[in-house]
Structure 1
């Protein structure tokens, strides 16, 4: 597959939004249009620690990955949280997800991050097959306290 991994651009909004909506649907989730618009603006802003890379095949976006760099009390370098990874049905089983993860790893190294990490649902078996090949599963459990905002 002739795949290009590149930074998100302002002209990508319609295709990015379609992938974003499909990703949210996969996780049976919704966000407001305000959140979608704000997220897109943040992903493009030079002064934000949020980033987006997209996978493009023959002019069409077939995948996206969002990642956030943040400080850590355990290292001098930042950590890189791979927050969202989604590949459209047409891009699956083509190495697209693997290429996006590798591109995040490269970007994180350039940003002096000491680690890249992410979470997924336990029953996301298709993705976990790839994740088990490219990363180490930890024994941490996530807890949440809901906040209003």
Structure 2
């Protein structure tokens, strides 16, 4: 793995984060409205919000991003940490950046007293699931959801 630094985002990182956020959307073939993107960015920077974001930096480039959300659980006294978004730039994939970003979330969750970190994987994302199967336990639960416009 190349030398990489994982850092919490700061206000001036928007222009580093945005191209990765757009790359993430292209990967999943979604188009998140700009108003949602700007509100999400503001939430990352608001200390009262449970949302967090970090960037992977290396060789003078932004290589990946991770977003997490802390929430209460009825199954534990410690919060749960939902790793909502993980994205590594095309040219940096397979170099350990994804693992470093997940380990960053693990360390932050432990520091905050969370009882677990959990996330979803798209069933077609086999490359990512190879990593996930090495560093986490696969749940037996299936996600159900109802979207509202």
TM bucket, shorter chain: over 0.9
Q: Which runs of 4+ in 1 moved over 2 A?
A: none
Is 1:68 matched with 2:69? yes
Match of 1:118 in 2: 119
Query: What do you get for the CA RMSD once the two structures are aligned?
Result: 0.8
Alignment of 1:1-149 (within 5 A): 1-148=2-149
Task: For 1:146 and 1:120, locate their aligned partners in 2 and report how far apart those are by CA, in whole Å.
Answer: 18
* Cα shift at 1:147: 1.9
Task: For 1:142 and 1:122, locate their aligned partners in 2 and report how far apart those are by CA, in whole Å.
Answer: 12
Task: For 1:106 and 1:59, locate their aligned partners in 2 and report how far apart those are by CA, in whole Å.
Answer: 24
* Cα shift at 1:102: 0.4
* Cα shift at 1:72: 0.3
Task: For 2:58 and 2:40, locate their aligned partners in 1 and report how far apart those are by CA, in whole Å.
Answer: 24
Task: For 1:16 and 1:109, locate their aligned partners in 2 and report how far apart those are by CA, in whole Å.
Answer: 25
User: What SS does the aligned partner of 2:32 have?
Assistant: coil
User: What SS does the aligned partner of 1:68 have?
Assistant: strand
* Cα shift at 1:90: 2.0
Normalising by structure 1, what TM-score?
Answer: 0.96
Task: For 2:20 and 2:93, locate their aligned partners in 1 and report how far apart those are by CA, in whole Å.
Answer: 13
Normalising by structure 2, what TM-score?
Answer: 0.96
